[in-house]
């Protein structure tokens, strides 16, 4: 028997795994279609984006990233809760900037540049997320510029909205 020959999966098992993969992809597509930076994409375009998403799981209390570390990815919470924290060295205290849950996303500036993270992200509960890395978005820019341009435009809108809200909060202080 030739050991290097590829085995053909049985039709039964092939259909089972294909069905599971389609369901997983469908769930991802449904989730990311609700995220503002992907909301203008068609189902086909969302499927393309879903192919560059990575599953990540963090335990309660585990750091997702630390302030001052280089940023490389944006995260979309699929289940669980995350807190965004800012450490004040002068006051020796930690301030909670936000608590995020299912459907929320954070770390989007990392898709634009490799500047250090401005805050720490920590899982409050066991949390599952989808991550999109800048390197994969850069490949998307080369291979699917129309999709990438639409994502980048929406990303600019989201960052602008968050900056305006931050300015309002600072003005209140």
What stretch of H or E contains 53?
strand 53-58
Residue 169, pLDDT score: 79
Residue-averaged pLDDT of the chain: 85
Which of 147, 169, 163, 162 shows the shortest CA–CA distance to 104? 162
Cα distance between residue 57 and residue 82, in whole Å: 12
Q: What is the mean pLDDT of residues 151-164?
A: 91
Q: What is the pLDDT of residue 26?
A: 67
3-class SS at 60? coil
- The answer to which of 1-15, 64-78, 146-160 has the lowest mean pLDDT is 1-15
Residue 75 DSSP SS3: strand
pLDDT of the residue at 25? 61
Distance of CA 71 to the CA centre of its chain: 12
The reported pLDDT for the residue numbered 147 is 96
> What is the predicted pLDDT for the residue at 97?
87
What per-residue confidence (pLDDT) applies to 24?
56
Give me the domains of the chain, ranges plus CATH numbers. Answer: 16-172 (2.60.120.10)
**Average pLDDT over every residue of 86-107:** 85
Least confident of 16-20, 48-52, 60-64, 91-95: 16-20
Q: Is the pLDDT of residue 10 over 60?
A: no
The model's pTM: 0.79
């Amino acid at each position: 028997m030739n050991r290097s020959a590829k085995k053909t999966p049985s039709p039964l098992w092939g259909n089972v795994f294909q069905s599971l993969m389609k369901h997983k992809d469908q769930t991802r597509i449904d989730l990311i279609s609700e995220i503002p930076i992907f909301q203008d994409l068609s189902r086909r375009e969302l499927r393309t984006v879903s192919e560059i998403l990575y599953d990540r799981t963090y335990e309660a209390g585990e750091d997702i990233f630390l302030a001052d570390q280089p940023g490389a990815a944006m995260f979309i919470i699929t289940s669980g809760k995350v807190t965004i924290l800012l450490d004040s060295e002068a006051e020796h205290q930690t301030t909670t900037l936000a608590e995020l849950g299912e459907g929320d996303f954070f770390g989007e500036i990392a898709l634009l540049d490799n500047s250090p993270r401005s805050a720490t992200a920590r899982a409050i509960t066991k949390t599952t997320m989808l991550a999109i890395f800048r390197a994969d978005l850069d490949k998307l820019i080369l291979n699917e510029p129309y999709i990438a341009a639409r994502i980048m435009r929406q990303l600019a809108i989201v960052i602008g909205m968050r900056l305006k809200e931050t300015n309002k909060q600072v003005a209140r202080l």
